[in-house]
Amino acid sequence: MAIVPEFLIRKIYQKGSLKKLDNGASIVLKNVLGPGQISGFNYVKINGVVFESKDVKFITNGVEYTADDVSEENPIIFRLGQSGTLVMTGKECLAEGKNEIYIEALNPEAGIVQLKAEDVV
Amino acid sequence: MEVTFDKYSLMVDGKRIFIKSGAFHYFRTPGADMARDRFLKMKAGGYNTVDIYFNWNYHSPKQGEYDFSGIKDVRKVLQEAKKAGLFVIARPGPFINAEVNAGGLPFWLLKAEDVIPRNRIGTEYKYSPKYMEYIAEWYDQIIPIIKDFDNVILFQIENEYATDTMEEDYMRQLYKMARDRGITCPIFHNDAYFAGLWADCVDIYALDLYPYINPNQNWKEESYCFDTLDNVEDIFRCAKEDSPPFIAEMQSGWFDKWDGSGYKHIRDSLGDEHINIMTKTALSQGVTIFNHYLAVGGTNWADLACDEVYTSYEFTAPIDEFGVPQSNFYKAKEINYFLDSFDFTKTEPKDFNFSKENIYVKMRHDLNNDCDWLFLRNMNSETAEIDLPFNKTVKLKPYDMKICPINLKLKGCEIEFSDTEIFTRLQNENEEAIFFISDDNSNIYLCDGSVISGAQKDYANYTYQKDGKTTQIIFLTKKLADKSWFLGDRMIFNADYVLPNSAVAVEKNTEIAYFDLKYKFGKKSCIISEFDKNQDSEELKIDEVQFCAPEIDIDYDYSNWKKVKGKTDAFSCDIYDEFIWYKAKIPNNITEITLSARHLFAMYINGKEIINRNSYKLEKLQEVPETISVPLNEKILTKDMNELTILVQNLGFDKGFSGDTNSPRGLVFFETTPNIPVEFYVCDKLAPERSKKYESDNPYLAKITAHFDVDIKDNVFFAKYISFENFRCRRATIFLNGVKIGRYIKRRHVQEKFYLINEFLKPHNKLEIVVWEKERNVKSAWGFKSDLKNVKILLGTFKICQLFK
Supply the angle between the helices B263-270 and B273-284 in degrees, to the nearest 10: 50
Question: What are φ and ψ of residue B753, in 5° steps?
Answer: -110, 130
Question: Between vectors from CA B520 to CA B518 and to CA B526, what angle results, nearest 5°?
Answer: 120
* Facing B224 at nearest CB: one of A2, A5, A77: A77
Inter-chain touch A80–B226, beta carbons under 8 Å:
no
- Radius of gyration of chain A from Cα atoms? 13
Q: Are residues B712 and B659 in the same domain?
A: no
Q: Are residues B543 and B567 in the same domain?
A: no
Q: How far apart are CA A56 and CA B78, in angstroms?
A: 56
Rounded to a whole number, what is the distance in Å from the CA of B208 to chain A's nearest CA?
A: 12
Please identify among residues 658-697 of chain B the ones whose CB lies closer than 8 Å to any CB of chain A: 658-660
Number of folded domains that form chain B: 4
Average pLDDT value for chain B: 95
For residues B90-103, average pLDDT? 97
Q: Are residues B124 and B239 in the same domain?
A: yes
What is the number of other CB atoms lying within 10 angstroms of the CB of residue B796?
Answer: 15
Decide if B534 touches A, using CB distance below 8 A. Answer: no
- Sign of the torsion formed by the C-alpha atoms of B657, B660, B662 and B663: negative
pLDDT of B620 over the 70 cut: no
Residues 6+ apart with CB under 8 A from B467: none
Q: Which residues of B touch A2 (CB under 8 A)?
A: 122-123, 658
For residues B325-344, average pLDDT? 98
CB B460 within 8 Å of CB B474: yes
Q: Are residues B56 and B143 in the same domain?
A: yes
List pLDDT tens digits, range A12-23. 999 999 999 999
CB B651 within 8 Å of CB B578: yes
Inter-chain touch A79–B211, beta carbons under 8 Å:
no
Q: Half-sphere exposure of residue B654, counting CA atoms within 13 Å on the CB side? A: 18
H helix or E strand, kind and range, residue B349: strand B347-350
Instruction: For residue B358, tell me if it sits in a domain.
Output: yes
Q: How far apart are CA B34 and CA B430, in angstroms?
A: 41
Decide if B226 touches A, using CB distance below 8 A. Answer: yes
Strands A49-52 and B622-623: unpaired
pLDDT of B20 over the 90 cut: yes
pLDDT for A1 equals 39
For residues B474-483, average pLDDT? 98
Q: Among B652, B685, B718, give the residue marking a domain's end.
A: B685
Rounded to a whole number, what is the distance in Å from the CA of B162 to chain A's nearest CA?
A: 7
CB B120 within 8 Å of CB B126: yes
Instruction: For residue B733, tell me if it sits in a domain.
Output: yes
Question: Between vectors from CA B505 to CA B502 and to CA B509, what angle results, nearest 5°?
Answer: 120
Q: Are residues B153 and B247 in the same domain?
A: yes
Q: Are residues B471 and B543 in the same domain?
A: no
Inter-chain touch B122–A1, beta carbons under 8 Å:
yes
List pLDDT tens digits, range B182-228. 999 999 999 999 999 999 999 999 999 999 988 888 999 987 889 99
Q: Which residues of B touch A34 (CB under 8 A)?
A: 193-194, 227-228
Q: Which residues of B touch A6 (CB under 8 A)?
A: 123, 164
For residue B435, which of B351, B511, B343, B334 has the smallest C-alpha distance?
B334
The residue segments making up the domain with residue B34 are: 3-324
The pLDDT confidence band at residue A7, using thresholds 50, 70 and 90, is confident
CB B785 within 8 Å of CB B701: no
pLDDT of B666 over the 80 cut: yes
Instruction: For residue B137, tell me if it sits in a domain.
Output: yes
List pLDDT tens digits, range B411-435. 999 999 999 999 999 999 999 999 9
Give strand pairing partners of B347. B366
CA dist list (Å): B25 to B50, B54, B100, B119, B528: 10, 8, 10, 26, 32
List pLDDT tens digits, range B735-746. 999 999 999 998
Decide if B162 touches A, using CB distance below 8 A. Answer: yes
What is the number of other CB atoms lying within 10 angstroms of the CB of residue B711?
Answer: 11
* Facing A8 at nearest CB: one of B195, B619, B621: B195
Instruction: Identify the CATH class of A6-120.
Output: mainly beta
Rounded to a whole number, what is the distance in Å from the CA of B228 to chain A's nearest CA?
A: 6
Q: Are residues B706 and B753 in the same domain?
A: yes
Decide if A8 touches B, using CB distance below 8 A. Answer: yes
Q: Are residues B273 and B366 in the same domain?
A: no
pLDDT for B623 equals 52
Instruction: For residue B342, tell me if it sits in a domain.
Output: no
Instruction: For residue B60, tell me if it sits in a domain.
Output: yes
- Chains A, B: CB pairs < 8 Å: 63
Q: For residues B725 and B281, which has the higher predicted lDDT (pLDDT)?
A: B281
Question: Between vectors from CA B209 to CA B136 and to CA B8, what angle results, nearest 5°?
Answer: 80
For residue B7, which of B182, B246, B181, B250 has the smallest C-alpha distance?
B246
For residues A26-41, average pLDDT? 90
What's the CATH number where B603 sits? 2.60.120.260
Residues 6+ apart with CB under 8 A from A77: A37, B222, B224
Decide if A5 touches B, using CB distance below 8 A. Answer: yes
Strands B681-684 and B701-709: unpaired
Residues 6+ apart with CB under 8 A from B703: B544, B545, B546, B547, B548, B688, B694, B768, B769, B770, B771
What's the CATH number where B456 sits? 2.102.20.10
The pLDDT confidence band at residue A37, using thresholds 50, 70 and 90, is confident
pLDDT of A97 over the 60 cut: yes
* Facing B227 at nearest CB: one of A3, A79, A110: A79
* Greatest pairwise CA separation for chain A in angstroms: 40
Inter-chain touch B123–A109, beta carbons under 8 Å:
no
Q: For residues B525 and A7, which has the higher predicted lDDT (pLDDT)?
A: B525
The per-residue b/e assignment along B622-641, b for 16 or more CB within 10 angstroms, e otherwise, is ebeebeeeeebeeeebeeee
CA dist list (Å): B697 to A111, B153, B284, B548, B554: 47, 59, 67, 8, 9
Inter-chain touch A35–B226, beta carbons under 8 Å:
yes
Instruction: For residue B118, tell me if it sits in a domain.
Output: yes
Give strand pairing partners of B600. B614, B649
Burial status of residue B49 (CB atoms within 10 A of its CB: 0-12, 13-18, 19 or more): buried
Instruction: For residue B635, tell me if it sits in a domain.
Output: yes
Q: Are residues B449 and B464 in the same domain?
A: yes
The pLDDT confidence band at residue B533, using thresholds 50, 70 and 90, is low
Q: Are residues B151 and B236 in the same domain?
A: yes
For chain A, give every domain's residue range.
6-120
* Facing B162 at nearest CB: one of A5, A81, A110: A5
Q: How far apart are CA B442 and CA B398, in angstroms?
A: 15
The pLDDT confidence band at residue B621, using thresholds 50, 70 and 90, is very low
List pLDDT tens digits, range B649-662. 999 999 988 778 88
Q: Which residues of A touch B619 (CB under 8 A)?
A: 111
Q: Are residues B704 and B677 in the same domain?
A: no
Strands B124-125 and B152-156: unpaired
Decide if B225 touches A, using CB distance below 8 A. Answer: yes
CA B541, distance to chain mean position in Å, is 33
CB B321 within 8 Å of CB B297: yes
pTM for this predicted structure: 0.94
Please identify among residues 24-83 of chain A the ones whose CB lies closer than 8 Å to any CB of chain B: 33-35, 77, 79-81
pLDDT of B60 over the 70 cut: yes
List pLDDT tens digits, range B24-52. 999 999 999 999 999 999 999 999 999 99
Q: How far apart are CA B581 and CA B524, in angstroms?
A: 61
Inter-chain touch A7–B213, beta carbons under 8 Å:
no
Rounded to a whole number, what is the distance in Å from the CA of B652 to chain A's nearest CA?
A: 19
Q: Are residues B306 and B368 in the same domain?
A: no
Amino acid found at B246: F
Amino acid found at B583: K
pLDDT of A80 over the 90 cut: no
The pLDDT confidence band at residue B123, using thresholds 50, 70 and 90, is confident
Q: How far apart are CA B68 and CA B59, in angstroms?
A: 6
The pLDDT confidence band at residue B784, using thresholds 50, 70 and 90, is very high
What's the CATH number where B128 sits? 3.20.20.80
For residue B595, which of B658, B654, B645 has the smallest C-alpha distance?
B645
Supply the angle between the helices B32-44 and B74-83 in degrees, to the nearest 10: 30
Decide if B260 touches A, using CB distance below 8 A. Answer: no
Instruction: For residue B508, tell me if it sits in a domain.
Output: no
H helix or E strand, kind and range, residue B81: helix B74-83
pLDDT for B478 equals 98
Inter-chain touch A1–B123, beta carbons under 8 Å:
yes
B621: left (phi over 0), alpha (psi -120 to 50) or beta: left
CA dist list (Å): B792 to B540, B706, B740, B798, B801: 7, 11, 20, 18, 27
